[in-house]
Structure 1
Amino acid sequence: MPTCCEICCEILIAILLPPLGVCFRHGCCSVEFCICLLLTILGYIPGIIYALYAIVFVDRDQYFDEYRRPLYSA
């Protein structure tokens, strides 16, 4: 379970660079990252909205396995 400080830092990163915030949370080869990257390319605001959704509401522990390891583990 991520701490409040981790979530706040990921949200700040997601506002500046949406795919990077999702990458820290879900990993670089995840569906969430690909969707966020596509939305950011199509428009910056949709990328931010999806990144915030992916960080706050999508539970990574539910989908966590050996092949979808995030960049850091808490």
Structure 2
Amino acid sequence: MSILNIILAILLPPLAVFLTHGLGSKFLICLLLTFVGWLPGVIYAFYVNSN
């Protein structure tokens, strides 16, 4: 993960996932988790972008 990706994963988790994986199921899951709560979206963004 690059520094920019880490910063985006903290500030805007869906954007970080979108830039890495595009518009798909991973993005939609991250968007939903971010709407539920900011922290679940951040955790999921780190998890998805680390693989």
| Aligned amino acid, residue 26 of structure 1 | H
1:18 alignment partner, one of 2, 13, 30: 13
Deviation at 1:52, TM superposition (A): 0.5
Q: Which has the higher helix share?
A: 2
Question: With structure 2 as the length reference, what TM-score do the two structures score?
Answer: 0.90
- The runs of 5 or more residues in structure 2 that have no matched partner are none
Written as runs of structure 1 = structure 2, the 5 A alignment for 1:1-74 is 7-28=2-23, 30-57=24-51
Deviation at 1:32, TM superposition (A): 0.7
**Bigger Rg, which one:** 1
Question: With structure 1 as the length reference, what TM-score do the two structures score?
Answer: 0.64
> Which of structure 1's runs of 4+ aligned residues deviate more than 4 A?
none
